[in-house]
Every structure is written in C-alpha cells, then in structure tokens.
Chains A and B, each alone.
Chain A
Amino acid sequence: MSVQRSRSRVAGIVGLAVLAACLSFGAHYRATPIGVISFVAGPSSPAGPRAFVPGQVLVKFKPAASVPMQASALAAFETRAITRIPQIGVYVVRIEGSASVEETVAAFRNSPDVEYAEPNVMCRALVTPNDTLFKYQYALSNTGQVIGQVPGSPQGKPSADIKATQAWEETEGLATVVIGIVDTGVDLTHVDLQSKIKAGGRDFINGDLDASDDNGHGTMVAGIAAAATDNNEGIAGVAWNSMILPVKVLDATGNGPSDTVAQGIIWAADNGANVINLSLGSESPSLTLQNAVKYAYDKGVFIAAAAGNSNTAVDYPAAYHPYCFTVAATDYNDLRASWSNFGPEIDVAAPGDRILAPYPQALTPLGFIPYAYGTGTSFSAPHVAGLAALIMGEKPWLTPAEIQAIIRYSADDVNASTYAGRDDFLGYGRINMENALVPIKIAK
C-alpha cells in the first residue's frame, strides 16, 4: 500500500473502471451491485488540515498598556489589528510583514506590554472523526466540498447529508451489534475494515469460510456501513463500533443465484447478524428470496435493501415488504438520483451518488489508494444499515418494524416542494441520523 501511496503522490485521478450496472445472476436474476467506480489518488500533500489560521495571531495586552502603546507595539511588529474581542480584550492581528506566525508570536511574547500572544488555532466540530478521507464523505457531512478529485468534480450543497456528526454526539454504536454484508464478500485485511470483521464469515460461492472479496462491491458496502472510524485512516463508517459479518453470495462478476443469496441471508441471521445489508437485486421476483428475508425479519433482523439503479420499479428482494426496508438514492444536492428505482415500496432515500468507500487492496490499480467512489443505490442502503445498527445499539428492545418506523419518520422530506409527504421516489425522504438518534427537545 505504501508503494501505491508513494506513486499516487504524482498521480491524479486517471483510472475509471466501469462495471455493469445490471449483471445477471442465476437464470433470471440480475444483481445491481454498482454503477460506476472511480479510484482515489493518494494525497498530493502529506500535510493535514492547517493547525492555525495563516498570517494571523491573537494578542492580549496587559491592562496597564495604554491604547497608544498597543498601537505602537502592533506597528513595531508589522501587524495590524483586524478586529478585537472586547469582552476579553483580545486582538485578532494580521501579519503585514514577512514574518511567520511563529516568529510574530515569539516577538509579541517578548514585549513587556503583552499578556499573551498565540496563533489563531483552528477548531473543528466535535465528534468529527480524524479519518483522512472523511472530508470527501459528503454523505455524512456535506460542507459544500468538491465531490471527487477529478478536475471539474461537482460541489455538494451544504447540509445535504444524513447528519452523521450530530448523531455521533449521541452514540457511536456498539460492537455487540453486527451488520451482515450479504454481497461479494469483504476485503478482510483492508486497513479500514480488518478490525471490524466479526469473523471470517461464509463464502457460499466457493463453499468455504473465507468470505474475501474478489469483486470490490461488498468491501465498499461494508465500509460505508461500518468502516473503522477515528483511526486516522481512510473513511468513517456510519456505525463506528458495529461489527461486520461478511457473507459472500455473489461471484467475482457480481452474480449469484437466488438460492445462494437466500442461503447467505439465512446464514447471516443464524450467525449473529442484527442488521443485514442487501445491495443486490433483480427485477424478477423470487419466492425463495422472499422466504429468506421473512426468515431473517422474523428473527428480529433489520434488512436494508437497495431499490435498484434502472429508474424503474423497485427490484427484488427490496420490494418484499415489510421484511426489507427499501432505500432509494439521493445525490450531493439532496436531489433524487435520476437512475434510482421508484415505487410504493420505497421507504427512504440516502446518498448514493459518488460515495467514497474502501476498495479491495488486491483489486486497486497501482498508483491509487484502496478507496473508490461508487454510485448506485447499493451505496445508499449501507447508510441505512449503519443507522439501523446505531439505533439497535441504543435501543435493543426495538423490533425491526419499530426501527423502520423511526428511520421513516425521522427522515427529511427533501423533495417536499414537488411531492409533499411520502412519495414513491424518495419515500419519506433522505434519512436524518440526528433526528433518529439525538433526543428531541420538548419545549413549551
């Protein structure tokens, strides 16, 4: 990985891998694992966020220092007061000369008229994880950042996100809550996932207990739901502390027969999964799959399922209500993704356009770090799975139906101007983790 990172310093985004959005699995089954994946270049600069505001210093003079003395000192150090905080008598000072912040602070500190001088330190919102790529995760915290590293990448609308940072003030989840990723497997050694894997899982494609990912889709899904977070590495997962149970039911091409998918769902339910993510589907119904999701639901498992990516009716098994909780996709502007499937089964929406996620190291091209941007409802569903895991950790007595209701009613009706209330495109709206988890203030 270090080789890849070193090479990536000189590389921009040049790789674009397009996987088929609709690949068939089984005789009449079509998975919709992903739309587009683009890989992530390593950081162009090793420097992190600035520790302080460049060219600025905070200065407080001693009470005995008269205003003319203060003005004289500011001029002597080639600085100019931008503003003053009168309540505490602190000047925000701009450096006019060529001296650095450190040099200017030192000069002020040597002045007998100065009580203290310090850099204008940058503060950050609480419970913002230190994951190096978190700043690209508009879905969790949309500050209006550029989405992607390719020149011309779009910019998000501030606050068009699922309010993750606010919700993490309330809970970061429990390790006792397990999210079953029934998919193409998971990169079990990925730096952002290896500490989160509950067990090796189960591989129903190759018939063994090694659910490693040979496609990439499942790794991305797992990371969105529950990547290792606040670990100075990669991305943040929705459910910081929840564990991942990898279950491989789709092969390297993203295909798998319905009986295999059904077995994977049942195995996950029988082996400790509290939440199951199904970022797969087909336009053809399958009673076997319906029975499998019913089996898991009846065991108290919450199932988040992707609606599909073809701007048509909701795929199966997502359409199997009430067992599956059906998730459509929004983008970085809180708008419906044009390709997101629709119908009466849609419960909610979550960001699914250009979602950054871990990618298997073995499948990552040279020059790139093992992360990729993905587009599709496949990447919307794990946001919901992560939220369900957080709710379950906080309130383990709730049934899947109650968790579904909480996520529905706490959603933001982001398309209310055209479809007020629940609609068939975004359901109850884009999920809002803060509304779902943080105590609601009851005022007069």
Chain B
Amino acid sequence: MRANRTRTALALILVAGALIGPAALRAQDAQESPPPAGPIMKLGLGLEYFSRTLSWDGDLRSSTMTAAFGVARLDVELKKGFTLGAYLGYGLSNFNGLVFRSLPFSLDYEAGSSGGFLAGFEAEADAFKVGDIEIGVLGRYVISLGGTRTLAITGLNKSGSVDAKALWMRVQAGPVVRYTGYEDVTPYIALTYDRLWGTFTATETVQELSGTEDKKIAGAGSIGAIFGVVYEPFANWSFRGEVGAIPYKKISGGGLGFDLGGSLKAVLSF
C-alpha cells in the first residue's frame, strides 16, 4: 500500500517536471532582471498535508496521524539566498487509533479530525554554488495548538465524556540542493532530519470517576527526503510544490513503511 503511494508520488514529480520543463527552457531565453536592493517581502498562502506513523507507549504501539492545514505566510528575503519565513494557520489533525489505558475506562480514540491553530517558522540559506547547482540548508518548525474537543462516552449505564486535546510540533532541518539551470523553475531535493512529537491529552469523566492521560507521541521515522519545485511564472509570483517521504520501521510485522506528505504555496513578492 505504502509502496504504491511512494510510486504514485514519484510519478507525480516526473509528470510535474515534464509539464514544467518546456516552460523553463523557454524562460532561459529571457533576459535576467537585476536583483532588487534590500529585503524582499513576500506574502503567501499555503496548503499542506502529511501523514505520520506515530509510536507511543514506549514504542510498543503505533497509529497513523494525518494533518491538513492552510496558512497565511510572510517571508522575508533578507539578502539573496537567505530567507526567513513565518506563518499562521488553521488545520485538522487526526489521531485515530490512539488507545488510552490509563483512564478509569480505557478509551480507543476514533473521533476523526480535530481543528486547531498552528504557527510555523522557516529559514533557508544558500551556502555555495557550483555551476547551476546551489547547495544550502533549510530549517522548519511548526507547532499545532489543537483545541479541546469534548466527546461523549457511550455504552455505559451512566453518561460520561472525554475532553481531547492534541499539541504537536514538527522540526525539519537538513541540506537542500537546487538546480538553477532553468529560469522560471527551480527543482530541489532535500534530505532532512524530520522529527514530530507531541502530547495528546484525554481527560475522562464518568460520574465520580475521572482521570487524565497524557499520551506522548512521536513520529516513527526521523530521516526524510523532500522533492520540490519552485515555479516563478511572473516577476512577483512564485508557486512552490513539494512532496516528502519518511521511511520508518514497522512495529508489527517488520519491514519498512513510508509516511508521505505534500504542500503547495503561492507567494507574492513586493
């Protein structure tokens, strides 16, 4: 299943490359405009989705988290090759499959996605260039502050409820290699240390019974690869698409699985 998804993602990159390639070749003929002086401000919108296999209970159990969010972002290119960015947004995180056994009544969380605000920071810097190859580093941090969701506990002869709240963070950092041989299109690849961690808190109340369980969660894998393309069809507009994959070792059954993700950004510079 995951292998199929990986093949699908790679195929999408190739298709994207085939579509973008001719435009890029045409763009090579255009004259380069001189770089503007001073910082460049960029405003943009972004969409991101990723799935992540989580391990919990001391890596004895796992489940799959998915997250999808939209953000408004501000990037500042302080100088050529060095950009800082920040964004705010709202997203849905799905932690189905988490099981809480340290509450008076054990719970199996299958309540679907929960909404919450998130914030993120990014930095990208070029280190050196060899011909059309630029080598730099990127760093990203995002924190999702999920809202508290109250859900009913059914099946007992007394009513009960659980307050569920998830907080998660993700860090990505690593080298990035860009090919700058095309004028409007810049494909890149990055190898990242990719860590996701957080806490899912469930507070149960059934009559006089109550309990709280903090479930420490962490991504099962920690090294990932990103394949992306920046497309700049107009002077002040750029679009950026990415897909990423993180291999992880399956807890049950052995073997490797892959967590996949992707993002799209549209950015206006001024």
Contact = CB atoms under 8 A, between A and B. Distances in A.
Whether chain B is bound by chain A comes out as yes
Interface of A: 170, 394-395, 398, 402, 405-406, 408-413, 421, 428-429, 435-444
A405 B208 CA distance: 8
Interface in B79-96: none
B156 A438 contact: no
B209 A439 contact: no
A439 B104 contact: no
B101 A406 contact: no
Contacts of A409: 105, 156-158, 160, 206-207, 209
Contacts of B109: 442
Contacts of A437: 106
A436 to B, nearest CB: 8
A395 B102 contact: yes
A411 B104 contact: no
A441 B108 CA distance: 5
Interface string B183-216: 0000000000000000000000011110000000
Contact of A443 (B111, B156, B160, B206): B111
Contact of A440 (B102, B108, B112, B157): B108
B218 to A, nearest CB: 21
A439 B107 contact: yes
A435 B151 contact: no
B225 interface: no
B248 interface: no
A442 B151 contact: yes
Nearest to B100: A439
B156 A410 contact: yes
A439 B101 contact: yes
B123 interface: no
Nearest to B159: A409
B162 interface: yes
A438 B106 contact: yes
A350 B198 CA distance: 43
A440 B153 contact: yes
Contacts of A428: 157
Nearest to B156: A409
Chain B contact patch, size range: 20 to 34
Contact of B162 (A405, A411, A435, A442): A442
A441 B112 CA distance: 12
B35 interface: no
Nearest to B209: A405
A308 to B, nearest CB: 24
A295 B99 CA distance: 36
Contacts, number: 73
A411 B157 CA distance: 7
Nearest to A170: B106
B95 to A, nearest CB: 11
A435 B155 contact: yes
Nearest to B105: A440
Interface in B136-182: 151, 153-158, 160, 162, 164
B57 interface: no
11 contacts: A402-B209, A406-B105, A409-B156, A409-B158, A421-B157, A428-B157, A442-B108, A442-B109, A443-B111, A443-B112, A443-B151
Q: For the complex of A and B, list the 9 residue pairs with the smallest distance between their C-beta atoms, beginning with the closest.
A: A439-B108, A439-B106, A409-B158, A409-B156, A441-B108, A405-B209, A442-B111, A439-B99, A413-B157
Contact of A441 (B104, B110, B157): B110
A398 B104 CA distance: 8
B112 to A, nearest CB: 5
A413 B107 CA distance: 21
A395 B209 CA distance: 14
Contacts of B108: 439-442
Contact of A444 (B99, B100, B111, B160): B111
Contact of B106 (A411, A440, A443): A440
A402 B164 CA distance: 22
A412 B110 CA distance: 23
Contact of B104 (A170, A405, A438, A444): A405
A442 B157 contact: no
A412 B157 contact: yes
A437 B105 CA distance: 7
A22 to B, nearest CB: 32
A153 B239 CA distance: 78
Given A395-B102, A405-B104, A405-B208, A443 B157 contact: no
Contacts of B100: 439
B106 A405 contact: no
Nearest to B202: A442
Contacts of B154: 440
Nearest to A410: B156
A388 B18 CA distance: 66
Given A435-B156, A440-B154, A444-B111, A406 B104 contact: yes
Contacts of A443: 110-112, 151
A67 B108 CA distance: 48
Contacts of B101: 394-395, 439
B209 A440 contact: no
Nearest to B112: A444
A442 B206 CA distance: 14
Interface string B207-244: 11100000000000000000000000000000000000
A79 to B, nearest CB: 38
Contacts of A444: 111-112, 151
A398 B110 CA distance: 25
Contacts of B110: 441-443
Nearest to B151: A442
Contacts of B112: 443-444
Contacts of A435: 155-156
A411 to B, nearest CB: 6
Given A409-B207, A439-B108, 18 more contacts: A170-B106, A405-B104, A405-B206, A408-B157, A409-B157, A409-B160, A409-B206, A409-B209, A410-B105, A410-B156, A412-B157, A439-B107, A440-B108, A440-B155, A440-B156, A441-B107, A442-B108, A443-B112
A175 B157 CA distance: 30
